[in-house]
């Protein structure tokens, strides 16, 4: 069986890594034919620290196709990716295309594959913010609509799809068994919704093991465990809006009086900090640094006193590592993290961020013990199911 993974943005490289590892391990269970896994990289992210560092660190092979699309308006970027992905797919003729998450690369990959009649698997399917102003919300809805395999990370994601009329939900939306059964091969014409768990949990478990010995980021930044905050901001609604970005930075300035804030800055936000003349030097307790590698980020997260972020992935990593999170958004797709107060939504409201930042953590240990996000074996489930059904 030949699979093509289509990726382009930082979190997609991280989601790809466990699937590459699993496909290197796993043979096609029916035919004993080795799985062939091709990588198509759209080039949505291209700076070393947003792109190649993840391939190097996570041992992901060089992409088979690099489309080099780069940055641009959403329509242009998505269109260019579709055009170039189509050429690669026509040449490669995979049995299945896998797309990840909710970026423009996800949408372009799903549309290009569906036009060619190639089956599509969407990893991280079923998430909803119910905010159609986010381009990610539109991307994920359209990717779900064109997919044959809707691999959900949580029960809630399966439920969302059920409400949208997807009727073929495996195991009533509960995490499926690790060894897939023959039943997955039935009724190939109906899209299949399957809770496989969160592939980012696979990645975090694998990554942390290596990072604990392999990363020296705390020494490099002269940080002591639990004596700093960690922050990231990159959502368009926060970083492209001067008022909101200023409000967030003003809140960070106050919070950082207590403990320093380490702030690895996404290139979009860096560009806007400069354009809006929000000079970092004013915020001297805020340590603005370049984006960090995944292993460095896992360590920064695990040993932070609190994480302040608008990232989807980092809200969950905060949860995995039992670190309280302040989410700089008005809603979240990862609703499980809100239960029992592990995560708090503040939007870009300065006062709410300050209050949540200072609030002493009242987290109970058992509030983290549930298996909302599966068991760290999503990649094996994904390959198991697809090999039965393709």
CA distance 36 to 28: 10
Alpha helical stretches, state H, the chain: 10-25, 52-58, 74-92, 104-115, 135-146, 155-163, 199-214, 217-220, 236-239, 242-255, 267-275, 294-302, 312-320, 350-358, 378-389
**Nearest distance from residue 101's CB to ligand UDP, in Å?**
6
Instruction: Name residues contacting ligand UD1, limited to 138-177 (CB under 6 A).
Output: none
Q: Of 37, 41, 122, 234, which one is the catalytic site residue?
A: 234
Q: Lay out the site mask for ligand UD1 across 38-57 (x = CB under 6 A, - = otherwise).
A: ------xxxx--xx------
Q: Which stretch binds ligand UDP (CB under 6 A): 6-14, 126-134, 144-152, 340-348?
A: 6-14
Structure tokens at 6: 């289509």
Tokens standing for 69?
Answer: 């699309």
Q: Is 113 helix (H, G, I), strand (E, B) or coil?
A: helix
Residues 203-232 that bind ligand UDP (CB under 6 A): 232
Asked if 297 interacts with ligand UDP (CB under 6 A), we say yes
In the region spanning residues 10 to 39, those forming contacts with ligand UD1, defined by CB under 6 A, are: 10-11
Q: 14 is in the binding site of which of ligand UD1, ligand UDP, none (Cβ under 5 to 8 A by kind)? A: ligand UDP
d(CA 150, CA 199): 13
Cβ 55 to ligand UDP, closest distance in Å?
A: 13
State yes or no: residue 262 binds ligand UDP (CB under 6 A).
no
11 binds ligand UDP (CB under 6 A): yes
Residues 181-240 that bind ligand UD1 (CB under 6 A): 234
- Cβ nearer to ligand UDP, comparing 193 with 318: 318
Listed residue (14, 8, 2) closest to 211, CA to CA: 14
Q: Is residue 293 at the binding interface for ligand UD1, with CB under 6 A as the rule?
A: no
Give the DSSP letter string of 195-251: E---HHHHHHHHHHHHHHHH--HHHHTT--TTSSEEEE---HHHHS-HHHHHHHHHH
Q: Is residue 336 a contact partner of residue 318, using CB atoms and an 8 Å limit?
A: no
* Exposure of 153 in the CB half-sphere (CA atoms within 13 A): 23
Q: Does 42 bind ligand UDP (CB under 6 A)?
A: no
Is 234 tagged catalytic? yes
Is 135 a binder of ligand UD1 (CB under 6 A)? yes
Could you tell me if 342 and 360 are in contact, meaning their C-beta atoms sit under 8 angstroms apart? Answer: no
- Contact positions with ligand UDP (CB under 6 A) in 310-339: 311-314, 317
Please identify which residue in 4, 14, 123, 323 interacts with ligand UDP, judged by CB under 6 A: 14
Q: Least separation, in Å, of the C-beta of 11 and ligand UDP?
A: 4
Q: Which residues of 338-358 are buried (b: 16+ CB within 10 A; e: fewer)?
A: beeebbbbbbbbbebbbebbe
- Shortest reach from residue 353's CB to ligand UDP, in Å: 18
Q: Tell me, residue by residue from 94 to 133, as one string, x for binding to ligand UD1 by CB under 6 A and - for no binding.
A: --------xxx-----------------------------
- Angle formed by the axes of helices 312-320 and 10-25, nearest 10°: 60
Q: Choose from ligand UD1, ligand UDP, none: what does 297 bind? Cβ within 5-8 Å by kind.
A: ligand UDP
Q: Which of 320, 312, 243, 325 is nearest to 278 (CA)?
A: 243
Closest CA to 15 of 82, 146, 105: 105
Residue 267 found at the interface with ligand UD1 (CB under 6 A): yes
Pairing, β 2-7 against β 36-41: parallel
Binding positions for ligand UDP, rule: CB under 6 A: 10-11, 14, 232, 234, 264, 291-292, 294, 297, 311-314, 317
Binding positions for ligand UD1, rule: CB under 6 A: 9-11, 44-47, 50-51, 71, 102-104, 135-136, 234, 267-268, 271
Active site residues: 234
């Amino acid at each position: 069986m030949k699979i093509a993974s289509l990726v382009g943005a930082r979190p997609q490289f991280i989601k790809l890594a466990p699937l590459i590892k699993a496909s290197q391990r796993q043979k096609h269970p029916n035919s004993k034919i080795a799985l062939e896994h091709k990588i198509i990289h759209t080039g949505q992210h291209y700076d070393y620290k947003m792109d190649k560092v993840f391939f190097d660190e996570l041992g992901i092979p060089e992409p088979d196709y690099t489309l080099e699309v780069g940055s641009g308006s959403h329509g242009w970027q998505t269109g260019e990716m579709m055009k170039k992905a189509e050429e690669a797919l026509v040449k490669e003729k995979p049995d299945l295309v896998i797309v990840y998450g909710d970026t423009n690369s996800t949408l372009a990959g799903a549309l290009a594959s569906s036009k060619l009649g190639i089956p599509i698997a969407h990893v991280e399917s079923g998430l909803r913010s119910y905010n159609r102003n986010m381009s990610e919300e539109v991307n994920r809805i359209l990717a779900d609509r064109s997919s044959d395999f809707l691999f959900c990370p949580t029960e809630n994601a399966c439920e969302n799809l059920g409400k949208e009329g997807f009727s073929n939900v495996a195991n009533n939306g509960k995490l499926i068994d690790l060894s897939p059964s023959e039943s997955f091969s039935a009724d190939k014409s109906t899209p299949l919704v399957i809770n496989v768990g969160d592939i980012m949990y696979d990645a975090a478990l694998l990554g942390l093991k290596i990072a604990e010995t392999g990363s020296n980021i705390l020494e490099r930044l002269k940080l002591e465990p639990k004596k700093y905050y960690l922050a990231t901001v990159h959502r368009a609604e926060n970083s492209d809006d001067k008022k909101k970005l200023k409000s967030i930075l003003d809140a960070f300035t106050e919070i950082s009086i207590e403990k320093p804030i380490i702030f690895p800055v996404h290139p979009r936000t860096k560009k806007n900090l400069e354009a809006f003349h929000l000079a970092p030097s004013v915020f001297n307790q805020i340590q603005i640094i370049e984006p960090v590698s995944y292993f460095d980020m896992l360590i920064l997260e695990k040993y932070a006193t609190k994480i302040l972020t608008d990232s989807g992935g980092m809200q969950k990593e905060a949860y995995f590592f039992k670190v309280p999170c302040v989410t700089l958004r008005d809603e979240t797709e990862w609703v499980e993290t809100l239960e029992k107060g592990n995560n708090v939504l503040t939007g870009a409201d300065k006062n709410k961020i300050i209050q949540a930042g200072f609030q002493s953590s009242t987290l109970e240990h058992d509030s983290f013990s549930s298996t909302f996000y599966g068991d760290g074996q999503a990649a094996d489930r994904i390959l198991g199911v697809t090999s039965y059904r393709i």
